[in-house]
Chain A
């Protein structure tokens, strides 16, 4: 059994603990589940990690994030122990240098951290991938996303008014997590496109500056759907950044009413990117932003969402790369 290192506090009952955690500023405003030593040990066991295992750091804040930190905050978020390997992967991804924790969690623009889950673990954990997947209704979506945000708040010190300087912030900072609808699409899943083996599980963490719908209820061809998507992307544009170079990403989440026109015509994700690329990189017109991606592969297409509305959602980046990290069950 691993030795827990976090300071311990004593309470008479659960409500007293919850109220004290609120008072100390250790929650996002919602109630938490008490992170008892027994619960935290179960979470660490589920991931096969020692408490002191380092998941990453934020050098500008002199913060080192351990597995114990992640487990405590995952318990508080309402996760089940079996979610812990996903939480660990998300924390590791977010703490990648080019995921740029310091900037994306401190920014005035109030960027959110999107977690896309891929692979068989989605079904094992009942991760919402289809209708309503951006919203409430799935414990895994709600609590895995919340666990990452509580780590960002409690461990990485992104507290509103302190190191979180968001002007307005966003409700997506409570939790933003869903899975790719791999069963509803013949496309190569996101994590496999990014180099991980088919059949493996992974998360991709993307810091989202702006999310816009790209509705098109008229087009009935791949070209028409993608022309609409290109217009949405060019209207908003993406910021360039020397330090990030050409590694930034845009995530486009395509619902089934758009996907079917591409799939029925035999178009893959790569075909869609190849069609979009010259349209995204053509000279700017008045009123348009520049889409500064280094290559077509910088556009990450994800299948998700439910039927009814012909739309694709576009997640424009804050100053970070989208990072894909394998989910390792039972060990690091």
Chain B
């Protein structure tokens, strides 16, 4: 009996997650902290307050604040460049 053929409707297998969570730094002393605000709700104020908390507990060396140009698109190339070249760690949020 002829077998029934079905075509795969997808654009390929879903990609496997690349790597896992970044290793947690032993200390933030001397770190430059990236703050990536997604633009939703009070994201900027929340990250600013979080940064204040961090500076109270570690000798933070600097900050790289990024506010996305739109809540609906990823950070722009220049922002990625600043984060990957200047920041030791970066913090972002999900939702608003």
Q: Which residues of A contact B (CB under 8 A)?
A: 4, 6-14, 16-17, 20-21, 26, 34-37, 40, 60, 63-65, 68-69, 72-73, 76, 100, 102-104, 108, 150, 154-157, 159, 162, 241-244, 319-320
Interface residue ranges of B1-31 to A (CB < 8 Å):
1, 3-11, 14
The reply to whether A76 and B72 form a contact with Cβ atoms under 8 Å apart is no
The reply to whether B70 and A11 form a contact with Cβ atoms under 8 Å apart is no
Q: How far is the CA of A14 from the CA of B3 in the complex (A)?
A: 10
Indicate if B74 sits at the interface (CB-CB under 8 A): yes
The listed residue (A14, A69, A108, A150) touching B95 by CB distance below 8 A is A108
Closest Cβ of chain A: how far from B14's Cβ, in Å? 6
Closest Cβ of chain A: how far from B44's Cβ, in Å? 15
Which residue of the partner chain B has the closest CB to A39?
A: B7
Q: Given known contacts A11-B3, A14-B4, A36-B4, is B9 in contact with A244 (CB within 8 Å)?
A: no
Q: How far is the CA of A159 from the CA of B15 in the complex (A)?
A: 13
Chain B residues with CB under 8 A of A17 = 4, 6
The reply to whether B70 and A10 form a contact with Cβ atoms under 8 Å apart is no
Closest Cβ of chain B: how far from A261's Cβ, in Å? 37
The reply to whether A40 and B11 form a contact with Cβ atoms under 8 Å apart is no
The reply to whether B70 and A73 form a contact with Cβ atoms under 8 Å apart is no
The reply to whether A6 and B95 form a contact with Cβ atoms under 8 Å apart is no
Q: Given known contacts A162-B14, A241-B71, A319-B71, is B7 in contact with A12 (CB within 8 Å)?
A: no
The reply to whether B71 and A7 form a contact with Cβ atoms under 8 Å apart is no
Closest Cβ of chain B: how far from A49's Cβ, in Å? 15
Chain B residues with CB under 8 A of A12 = 1, 3-4
Q: By the criterion of a CB under 8 Å from any partner CB, how many residues of chain B are at the interface?
A: 19
Indicate if B56 sits at the interface (CB-CB under 8 A): no
Q: How far is the CA of A17 from the CA of B4 in the complex (A)?
A: 8
The reply to whether A155 and B7 form a contact with Cβ atoms under 8 Å apart is no
Chain A residues with CB under 8 A of B9 = 6, 21, 26, 35, 69, 72-73, 76, 150, 154-155
What are 17 A-B residue pairs whose CB atoms fall within 8 Å in the complex? A7-B7, A7-B8, A8-B8, A9-B6, A11-B4, A11-B5, A12-B3, A17-B6, A21-B6, A60-B74, A64-B11, A65-B11, A103-B71, A155-B9, A155-B10, A242-B69, A243-B70
Closest Cβ of chain B: how far from A3's Cβ, in Å? 12
Which residue of the partner chain A has the closest CB to B74?
A: A60
The reply to whether A8 and B7 form a contact with Cβ atoms under 8 Å apart is yes
The listed residue (A36, A150, A155) touching B6 by CB distance below 8 A is A36
The reply to whether A10 and B3 form a contact with Cβ atoms under 8 Å apart is yes
Q: How far is the CA of A115 from the CA of B9 in the complex (A)?
A: 21
Which residue of the partner chain B has the closest CB to A100?
A: B72
The listed residue (A26, A68, A319) touching B70 by CB distance below 8 A is A319
